[in-house]
Structure 1
Amino acid sequence: MKKVLFSPIIAAVLVLIIVVAIPNQWIEKMIPKSRISQAATELNPFMFQGKYVQQKMLEDHQYLPIYGSSELARLDRFHPSNYFKEAGGDFTPFLIGRGGTESLIHFLNFAEQTGQLKGKKMVFVLSPQWFQPKGTDESHFVPNYSSLQGYDLAFNKNIDPALKKKAIERLLKFSPVQNDPFLSVMYRAEITNNPWTKRESAWIRPFALAYRKLLIKKDLYYSLVGGIPHKRDLNPQVKNKSWDELAAQANHLGEKKSTNNHFYVINSQYNKIHKMVPSLKDNKIGASYGESPEYQDFQLVLSLLKQAGAEPLFISVPVNGPWYDYTGFPKVGRTAYYERIKKQIETEGFQIADFSHHEYDPYFMKDTIHIGWKGWVYADKAIQDFYEGKKIDVEVVRSN
């Protein structure tokens, strides 16, 4: 009876030992080369919370990483992933982010890749909604936090110590870090002169290092298995079109798909909220995106990218003007954000495609907060100009 009972346990332990003992190099050799191209549009959290796939992507000049949040999942014919594929672009967009992926999460991701960012062109899509008065919260941080990236930051000696301390002080405010018995101690040791905390950190460091190695191996196995493939239906109707033609096409498509409201919101999304719409009128009076802890979090991103020598283009997405007016969100509270974020980016010497003047441009936005249709056309042109080293013109879409 005992033999029957313990045999599965012994077998499971043996399998676990074998899995852990397999050298990382062996696992890497088994990962198919197609994994990187497969991951480019999957928006799989295992990919951007890990490191292997992103490292390989950054090594390949074919890919242009695009960092952002939930807007990346709003795929249509004008989305960069479809447009540059169908129009025969010189690069393949690689999407990194999902809903709730805000500045602090992106900082952890970039910190893990600092050695590969020098001279690397990338695109970073900003959302005004990140800049809430209280900044990011647990509901946004927790699902997107990566333990591997958190531990890699603890062992990272390449980041400016002052920048690292600022990031750690911020990260210690969130439960995944606070509740980690190894990481919380190591982080606190970085920002304190308390000798007991530093001794405790030195004692647990070997255990933390062993755990980090397990996290690395876990990431390799996830990369080996891969995510659930998502078939993306490519739309060839953007081929051989001038920017003017694309903008007209986007305008027509938006008009066709937004017929049940006067906010230029896609019908399918408006159907989900229309019962609540009356209760939302003037419920944002006095609101503003002008003051938020998110600006300090975003500065961590800017400082790290500058230290790493990266070449980012920031895309400043507007809000949906008619909708924000309806909710009573003051224009001054929106303008404060547009002006502050633009100044913050340009102060660091980075480029920004500022589309804030498109608040009232029909079909520039797909719903109440996400860029779409015509907005992607303008973004595509800015991305292409940026990639080719041209001056970015965001005032009008012109024919080639």
Structure 2
Amino acid sequence: MKKIFSILIPIVFAIIFTIGIDKSLDNKIDMLCKTKDISLVGKVYGDAVKDKSAVIKDLLSAKGDLFLIGSSELGIDVEQNPINLFPIKGCGYDVSCFGRPYTQDLQQATYLGATNLQSNQKVAFISSIQWFEDKNAIGPSHFAVNFSDIQFYKFLKNPKISDENKQYYAGRISKLLTKAKKNPAEAFYAKLYYNPTPTKKVLKLIFEPYYKTKQYLLNIKDKALIYKKLKSLPDGAPKTGYTIDWKAEKSKAQDEINKTVSTNEFHISDKWYNKNLKKELDNLKLQSKDEDPVNSKEMDDYKFFLSVCKELDIKPYVILMPVNGWFYDYTGLTKDKRYQFYDKVKELAEGYNLEVLDLREHEYEKGFLIDPKHLGKTGWLKVSENIFNYFNKKQ
């Protein structure tokens, strides 16, 4: 009996201690949310802790922030980027961004499905053709870089998401993580979850205590990491924003573009062209001629994203980002193929009664993009203005 007690007592104390830490973190985070502008965390592009966290998304949603979700374009540091431009007087919300390089439709769906979002959550979703250029969609190693274990478990536990979508998700996660040889515990759980058989059900039951414990500890870890970030913020109330003269901002941005030296065939700045593109031109000629974005596996992931949004009762404002037409013509992904892609993405979104900001007409507009694939000053200003007008109309 003494041996049993000697084993049980430390376990009981460990459980009580862990529960105490969990409750303490809840209280501390709640206090910090009252004294800090937590949107400052949401505005940091490329922060792995923030992007992989479920806790911060719950907090920012409760605060009323608009979620701007995309990928590498979010990192373009121009003042017209919504991350820098908002809050704007008259809109009543700030903007938090989620996405880094190699975050695509599957990850975007996870961002939303793994959190306890408010019923009126504002979401602006940027869709990029480059996600669809690989017929197999995102590569395993690229996906694993941004994979979040806590979001994975929370997505599968979300009662709003259908079993059909959870099955699709588990199947994709199992294949991607297994091929990447990353997160073996989650890869195994996804394999057990996907297409359950009697054997899988028994194994899942056997391993259930381990996975429940892990999820609980991951949740505490998530809270601890976010608490550390919130604690480091300066004290003070959120910014109230300022009034924007959109016409004046357009004129200012265009003046800056007109001063940019551009003598190359793609009409992008010579500085960027000489540094990043000039030496690679021979290798890029017609390299994309066999690509077929409409029939990429990524299109299935996009359909999955839209379906998850419907189940969560979220209506994202879909932003269909253009590319530099001159450059893409050079690489062989023709205008006809690009327009077929734009049409398909728009058609699928409108099938869910979503509004689409279709920017394809700017493919051949100098300065709209800062490089062949990412929005520049006038591009981001166009997006910011339309986000402002769209969500103000919704209020």
Normalized against structure 2, the TM-score is what? 0.85
Residue of structure 1 equivalent to 2:107:
105
Q: How far, CA to CA, are the matches of 1:286 and 1:193 in structure 2?
A: 38
1:234-313 residue pairs with structure 2 within 5 A? 242-259=245-262, 261-270=264-273, 271-313=275-317
Gaps of 5+ in 1: 1-15, 232-237, 392-400
Q: Secondary structure at the match of 2:290?
A: coil
Does the Cα contact within 8 Å between 2:319 and 2:356 map onto a contact in 1? yes
Residue of structure 2 equivalent to 1:371:
375
Match 2:209 to one of 169, 186, 206:
206
Q: How far, CA to CA, are the matches of 1:374 and 1:215 in structure 2?
A: 42
Q: How far, CA to CA, are the matches of 1:50 and 1:361 in structure 2?
A: 38
Seen in structure 2, the aligned counterparts of structure 1 residues 328 and 239 have a Cα distance that, compared at 3 Å, is farther
**CA shift at 1:152, angstroms?**
2.0
Seen in structure 2, the aligned counterparts of structure 1 residues 366 and 19 have a Cα distance that, compared at 3 Å, is farther
**CA shift at 1:282, angstroms?**
2.7
Q: Secondary structure at the match of 1:124?
A: strand
Match 2:157 to one of 133, 155, 164:
155
Asked if 1:77 is matched to 2:79, the reply is yes
Q: How far, CA to CA, are the matches of 2:145 and 2:188 in structure 1?
A: 22
Q: Secondary structure at the match of 1:324?
A: helix
Does the Cα contact within 8 Å between 1:168 and 1:187 map onto a contact in 2? yes
**CA shift at 1:18, angstroms?**
9.7
CA deviation vs aligned residue, 1:305-363 (integer Å, no higher than 9, x gap) = 11111121010001111111222221122111100000010001111111111111111
**CA shift at 1:275, angstroms?**
1.6
**CA shift at 1:84, angstroms?**
2.7
Q: Secondary structure at the match of 1:123?
A: strand
Q: How far, CA to CA, are the matches of 2:136 and 2:19 in structure 1?
A: 45
Residue of structure 1 equivalent to 2:28:
30
**CA shift at 1:53, angstroms?**
0.9
CA deviation vs aligned residue, 1:367-398 (integer Å, no higher than 9, x gap) = 1100121111211121012111269xxxxxxx
1:21-60 residue pairs with structure 2 within 5 A? 22-31=20-29, 32-33=32-33, 34=36, 36-43=38-45, 44-60=47-63
**Counterpart code for 2:296:** S
Residue of structure 2 equivalent to 1:90:
92
Q: How far, CA to CA, are the matches of 2:339 and 2:231 in structure 1?
A: 41
Residue of structure 2 equivalent to 1:116:
117
Gaps of 5+ in 2: 1-13, 235-240
Seen in structure 2, the aligned counterparts of structure 1 residues 94 and 284 have a Cα distance that, compared at 3 Å, is same
**CA shift at 1:150, angstroms?**
1.4
Q: Secondary structure at the match of 1:95?
A: strand
Match 2:143 to one of 133, 141, 144:
141
222-231 or 278-287, which deviates more: 222-231
May I ask how many residue pairs the two structures share in their alignment? Answer: 370
**Counterpart code for 2:210:** F
**Counterpart code for 2:163:** P
203-212 or 157-166, which deviates more: 157-166
Q: How far, CA to CA, are the matches of 1:333 and 1:192 in structure 2?
A: 35
**Counterpart code for 2:388:** Q
Match 1:219 to one of 218, 222, 245:
222
Residue of structure 2 equivalent to 1:128:
129
**Counterpart code for 1:222:** L
203-212 or 279-288, which deviates more: 279-288
Seen in structure 2, the aligned counterparts of structure 1 residues 144 and 228 have a Cα distance that, compared at 3 Å, is farther
200-209 or 182-191, which deviates more: 182-191
**CA shift at 1:220, angstroms?**
1.1
Residue of structure 2 equivalent to 1:351:
355
Seen in structure 2, the aligned counterparts of structure 1 residues 40 and 264 have a Cα distance that, compared at 3 Å, is farther
1:178-217 residue pairs with structure 2 within 5 A? 180=183, 182-217=185-220
Q: Secondary structure at the match of 1:387?
A: helix
